[in-house]
Amino acid sequence: MGNYKFILSGGGTGGHIYPAIAIANELKRRHPDAQFLFVGAQDRMEMEKVPQAGYEIEGLWISGLQRKLTLKNLMFPFKVISSLIKAGKIVRRFKPDAVIGTGGFASGPMLRVAAGKGVPCVLQEQNSYAGITNKLLKDKVAKICVAYDEMERFFPKDKIVKTGNPVRGDLVEMVADKNEALDFFGLKKGVPTLLILGGSLGARRINQLVAQNLEFFKKTGVQLIWQCGKLYIEEYAKYSSDTVKVLDFMNRMDYAYAASDMIISRAGAGSVSELCIVGKPVIFVPSPNVSEDHQTKNARALVNENAAILLRESELDEKFENVFSELFQDKAEQKNLGDNIKKLALPNATKDIVDEIEKLIGNATSK
């Protein structure tokens, strides 16, 4: 027992990659002798990030359909066939005990082939609006781990288990001291601190918003931790000062969260799950450039619980200053939002997902 073999497939974005790595780490903790293989899209970021996490990965020749007629779309059927063939070879060679899909193009062919060969398969859907790949796989897999209620709109009710999304381990405990965190960033104690998150690459519109409102923030009396992203650091580094800390990437997210009193963030599934655990008042500015507008739907799910504020990019010029000022001045509402978002936290998500995988393995091996 314990010499299991697991295939994990998902990628394209960090929101698909990092949950897969977190699940693999928990499986490895429980089964040190297990073997792992990741399967991704051969030209996407998982081909770099997964080896950095210490796991082997193979790439499929697969991508999504473009919204307009392009040569890439004409190649799509050939990519699907190629990926199905290679996925079949991987399953026959590796002989996995279970396959876990976290969304993204590569997980489609991988899980379809594995399920067709009788391998127990688990889906992990991060968003409140299911992705296309996971919706196509819903009838093929044994279990679907979700982070939101009412997901029976997309998946068979008897397969759904609400687990939440995996988050980095240092946030589950959140033991970082606020004063220590402020010292880390070189910020003053006793001054309200706003954390701005645009993801590892950065969010152009959020960066523009912050740059346009630096004088407003100064007058309001807040200091900033501004993660502008590696694509924008050269453009915005010039705004760094004693009260504005501009960073391309956060190596200590626990310090960033501990130092902050309020947060402005995109609404990707991973960010939302982390912010629920953190329990601070959040203004979400969802990206409108993602499939199915799922970031807006993620944020809306929290707004419906009075657990966050939602501002669309199209509303920022008109509404941002008033919305921010009202929240900044209303300490009771800040506490209310923080308390409500924390009630939605599911800090044991990774362990609960692995529990479901182990149940399936047990059922499979006992047959």
Annotated binding site for UDP-N-acetyl-alpha-D-glucosamine: 13-15, 127, 168, 200, 295
Q: What distance in Å separates the CA atoms of residue 73 and residue 89, rounded to the nearest whole number? A: 25
Radius of gyration of the CA atoms of the chain, in A: 21
Q: What is the DSSP string of 122-162?
A: EEEE-SSS--HHHHHHTTT-SEEEESSS-GGGTS-GGGEEE
- What residue numbers does the annotated binding site cover? 13-15, 127, 168, 200, 295
| Contact indicator for 24, 32 with CB cutoff of 8 Å | no
Which of 311, 312, 313, 302 lies closest to 336 in space, CA to CA? 302
| Contact indicator for 275, 282 with CB cutoff of 8 Å | yes
| Contact indicator for 123, 144 with CB cutoff of 8 Å | yes
| Contact indicator for 52, 61 with CB cutoff of 8 Å | no
Q: Three-class SS of residue 57?
A: strand
Which of 246, 200, 219, 211 lies closest to 316 in space, CA to CA? 211
Which of 175, 190, 262 lies closest to 226 in space, CA to CA? 262
| Contact indicator for 129, 294 with CB cutoff of 8 Å | yes
> How is the beta sheet containing 244-247 ordered, strand by strand?
244-247, 223-227, 193-197, 262-265, 282-284, 309-310
| Contact indicator for 141, 101 with CB cutoff of 8 Å | yes
Residue 352: Cβ within 10 Å count? 17
Q: What distance in Å separates the CA atoms of residue 321 and residue 334, rounded to the nearest whole number? A: 16
Phi first, then psi: give them for residue 40, nearest 5 degrees. Answer: -130, -170
